[in-house]
Amino acid sequence: MPRGDKSSHTAKQKRKVEHITDSYENRGVSEGEASRRAWATVKSESGGGKKSVGGGGIPTHTPPVGRAGPREKRLPQAERSAAAEKAAATRKRNAAK
């Protein structure tokens, strides 16, 4: 199979590429560049061509890398102070040994 051959891609991937290409062309990107960007996007989301994996309910979309969840909430000042005092006491106790 020559490089750039799209026959190993699913119909769903090809439909996604058409939609993304149209979107880029509406923004003023040339046809060739829009197609290249669209295929790069689809391949990054689905991991390439057809997969020989059993099971029909496997989603093909993998969101781009980013924050994995909500930020950790910071402890209130009183709890931070109590933790700092406890750590200081532990260090003092261990230094005496």
- Cβ neighbours around 19 below 10 Å, total: 11
- In the predicted model, what is the mean pLDDT of residues 73-85? 81
Write the pLDDT tens digit of every residue in 27-61: 999 999 999 999 998 888 877 766 655 556 666 66
Q: Where are the alpha helices (DSSP H) in 47-96?
A: 77-96
Domain ranges within the chain, ordered by starting residue: 1-49
Name the pTM for this structure: 0.48
DSSP-derived 3-state class of residue 49:
coil
Expressed in percent and rounded to 5, the helix, strand and coil fractions of the chain are: 55, 0, 45
Distance, in Å, from the CA atom of 34 to the CA atom of 45, rounded to the nearest integer, reads 17
